[in-house]
Amino acid sequence: MRKNFQDTTNTGYKIIAVDDEAGIVDSLSVFLKRSGYTLTGVTDPMEAIELVKKEHFDLMILDFIMTPIHGDKVVEEIRSFNKELYILLLTGHKDLAPPLETIRKLDIQGYCEKSDKFDQLLLLIESGIKSIEQMNEIKRINNELSNTLEKLEKAYLDSIETLRYTVEAKDPYTRGHSDRVSSYSVLLGKYLGLSKEDLKILKIGGLFHDIGKIGIPDSILLKEAKLTDDEYSEIKNHPSIGAHILCNAEVFKDIIPIVKHHHERFDGYGYPGKLQGQEIPYLARIAAVADTFDAMTSKRTYRDSLPLDIVKAEIEKCSGTQFDPEIAKVFLDIIENHYEEIEKIREEK
C-alpha cells in the first residue's frame, strides 16, 4: 500500500522509496525530509511500477527482497519504459544482493546494505543527484542545440524554397512537378521499406531536384520548339548547377546526391556522371523513376500527357536500362495495384 509521504522541499528533485516494510519507508521519509529531499513512499512494488509510469521521479530507492516480486524484477519492468530513472538498491545483507552482472544489465546505479543509520545511503543519493544534474544539463544543451539546428534548417529551407519558387516562375512546367516528384518518391520509398530518415531525404530531394534550372537561360528553358544539341547540352547542366547551389549548406548534404544524379541511367548513359548500376545513389534511382513518371503523365507545351498504358509500357521497357529494375518493378506494382494513391497525389498537387 502506498504511504502518504510527499514532502515538498527546495531541492527540486523527486525521490520514490519502495520497501514492503512500512517502518523502513517511515524512517526514510523522516531522514530524507530533514536532508531537504522530496519523497514518495510506497510499500507495494507493483504499485510503484504503475506510479513511475504516471509520474516523474528523478531517483528510486528500492528494496531488493520484497513480495510479491523482488527488486530486480521491479527494475526490469521499469527499464522497459524508463531508461533514465536513477536507481539505488537496498539489501538486507550483502550476501543477498543480486549478482554484479544483473546490476549492470539492469542499469542499477548503486546499492548498499540496510542500516539503522542512513549515512552511506545519503552519500549515494547525493552522488546520484549530482549525476542527475549533469544528465539534465547535457539534455538541456542537446535540446538547445536541436532547437538551434532546427532554426538553421528552417532558414536554409526557406532560402532554397525561395529559389525553388523563382525556378517555378521561370518554368511553368516545374510548378507542381517538383511537389509531385517529391510525393511519388516518398510513396515509392514507403513501398520499398525505407526508413523515416530516408523518406525525409526523398521528400526534400524531390522538392529541390530541379533547383539547378535557375541557372538555365530563359530562352532555352521556355523554348517551345525542339531544342538544338547545344541547347539540350545546356539543359543537362541543371543537376550539376543544383548540386553546386546546395553544396555549401551542411543541412542539404544528404539531398545533393538526388539533385545531382536523378538523370543518371542504370546502363551508364545518363548524366552528369555517367554512373552505372549500383554506382548511382539509391535515393537518386528512386527519384529518377518518380521524375520520369511525372514527366510522362504531365501535359507539356509540345504534347498532351501520355495514356497510362503507354507510361507503364515505357517503364517496363526501360527497366534495367534507364531504371533500376527492382525499383521499377515496385513502382509498376503501385501503378497496377495501388493507383488510387497516385491519383490522390495528382489531385492534391
What distances in angstroms separate CA 236 from CA 69, 134, 230, 289, 296, one per listed residue?
Answer: 70, 54, 10, 17, 18
The yes-or-no answer on residue 130 being catalytic is no
Per the residue annotation, which of 213, 223, 260, 299 is the catalytic one? Answer: 213
**Termini Cα distance of the chain:** 59
Say how far apart CA 282 and CA 265 lie, in whole Å: 12
272 cis-preceded (ω within 30 degrees of 0): yes
Please name which of 269, 266, 261, 296 lies closest in space to residue 278, comparing C-alpha atoms.
266
The angle that helices 238-246 and 119-170 make with each other, rounded to 10 degrees, is: 140
Please name which of 170, 250, 168, 172 lies closest in space to residue 209, comparing C-alpha atoms.
168
68 cis-preceded (ω within 30 degrees of 0): yes
Say how far apart CA 5 and CA 96 lie, in whole Å: 28
Say how far apart CA 143 and CA 141 lie, in whole Å: 5
Say how far apart CA 75 and CA 73 lie, in whole Å: 5
Provide the annotated active-site residues. Answer: 213
